[in-house]
Amino acid sequence: MANITAGMVKELRERTGLGMMDCKKALLASEGDMEQAIEDLRKSSGMKAAKKAGRVAAEGVVMTKIAEDGNYGVILEINSETDFVSKDENFLDFAQQTLDLAYANKDADVAALLDAGVELAREKLVQKVGENINVRRVDRLKFKDANQGIVDSYVHNTNQIGVIIALRGGDETLARDIAMHIAAVNPMVIRKEDVPADVIAKESAIYSAQARESGKPEEIIEKMISGRLNKFVAEVSLMEQQFVKNPDVKISGLLKDAGADIVNFIRYEVGEGIEKVEVDFAEEVAAQVKGGS
């Protein structure tokens, strides 16, 4: 049997980023052949990552990166299973490296990023932290040059909500202020006319049913429905919302005063739309104990 030294284990751990015991076992199995051990670990890491892939990853971080000249920005969401792992240095390093790659490859979607080396790094991280890791989504806003407009961002200090925004006119301060407002208020659309017809129809049906329960005359009911619908549309439309830093001013007024207009915005919130699985911790521990007995 080959003599496996602590130095060999350390080297393999540094080269793979995997756990000490996994590295030692691989070296023992390969009888000290470092390259064979790496190959074996890559194979086993892939299998273990696949086994964990079905587990729900609804925690994580949202990150953004903006070009120095302000004409381009990228936003990325990467998920983990637990909030604990989302704060882990290894996870955050992986997220930053993936963000940098997404920034450099301006047309790469998630699949292209994974093919460009992110998948291998993801599998290593899964092996290391013992949780499913998911590169969920990536988006970009950009102008051909800085003279056309400005792109900026805001990320809440918990990295749970991030926004990138594209303005024509205005400056970085205005863009960041409105991005912060979007993060806080979560508008559905930019303008009232952008609210989808199916959303209008759904809300109208709800308000109609509520109003008719009042037993009031039809003409009054129609006014009630119209009033509630107009209020709803204003509440979900960015331009009609009151600015969070100064409720006396609407976003539309803020932009008008600055001679600016909103081209687009993208808002990510960690885990939105993912159905989280509620796990009873006591039951999970009991199941693990039973399975190990």
Torsion of CA 102, 107, 109, 111, to 10 degrees: -90
10 φ, ψ (degrees, to nearest 5): -60, -45
Match 């919130």 to its residue by tokens: 269
85 φ, ψ (degrees, to nearest 5): -70, -35
DSSP at 42? H
| Dist. CA 102–CA 62, nearest whole Å | 13
pLDDT in tens, 33-63: 988 888 888 777 665 666 666 677 889 999 9
Q: Say whether pLDDT at 150 is over 90.
A: yes
Give the residue among 67, 78, 227, 88 at the shortest CA–CA distance from 153: 67
pLDDT in tens, 63-112: 999 999 999 999 999 999 999 999 999 999 999 999 999 999 999 999 99
Residue 290: predicted pLDDT: 59
pLDDT in tens, 10-33: 888 877 777 788 889 999 999 999
Provide the CATH number for the domain formed by 59-195+237-269 in this structure: 3.30.479.20
| pTM given for the model | 0.77
Q: Say whether pLDDT at 269 is over 90.
A: yes
Residue 287: predicted pLDDT: 56
Residue 187: predicted pLDDT: 97
122 φ, ψ (degrees, to nearest 5): -65, -45
pLDDT in tens, 199-213: 999 888 888 888 877
Give the residue among 255, 262, 236 at the shortest CA–CA distance from 152: 262
DSSP at 242? E
List beta partners, residue 268. Answer: 162
Fold of 6-52: Helicase, Ruva Protein; domain 3 (1.10.8)
Residue 293: predicted pLDDT: 47
> What's the rounded mean pLDDT across residues 285-293?
54
Residue 76 token pair? 């990325």
Could you tell me the residue ranges of all domains in the chain? 6-52, 59-195+237-269, 197-231
Match 């056309």 to its residue by tokens: 148
Given CA atoms 23, 24, 26, 30 in this order, what sign does their dihedral have? Answer: positive
